């Protein structure tokens, strides 16, 4: 589930790269959210 969300956010970010003039800072917010989710997954994965 978490990986699906990360993939969707990254896809939206890549789409935003091509439409940067209309999206503005929203793309960067999506990228930060994707990175945070990946870090959470890595941290939780190490606690076994």
pLDDT (tens digit per residue) in 9-35 = 778 777 776 666 665 667 677 778 888
Q: Which domain holds residue 12?
A: 2-46
When divided into structural domains, the chain yields a total of 1
Q: Which residues of 16-37 are buried (b: 16+ CB within 10 A; e: fewer)?
A: beeeeeebeeebeebbebbeeb
Which residues, other chains included, contact 33 with Cβ-Cβ below 8 Å and sequence gap of 6+?
9
């Amino acid at each position: 589930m978490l990986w699906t969300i990360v993939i969707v956010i990254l896809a939206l970010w890549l789409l935003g790269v091509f439409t940067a003039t209309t999206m503005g800072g929203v793309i960067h917010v999506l990228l930060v959210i994707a990175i945070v989710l990946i870090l959470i997954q890595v941290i939780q994965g190490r606690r076994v």
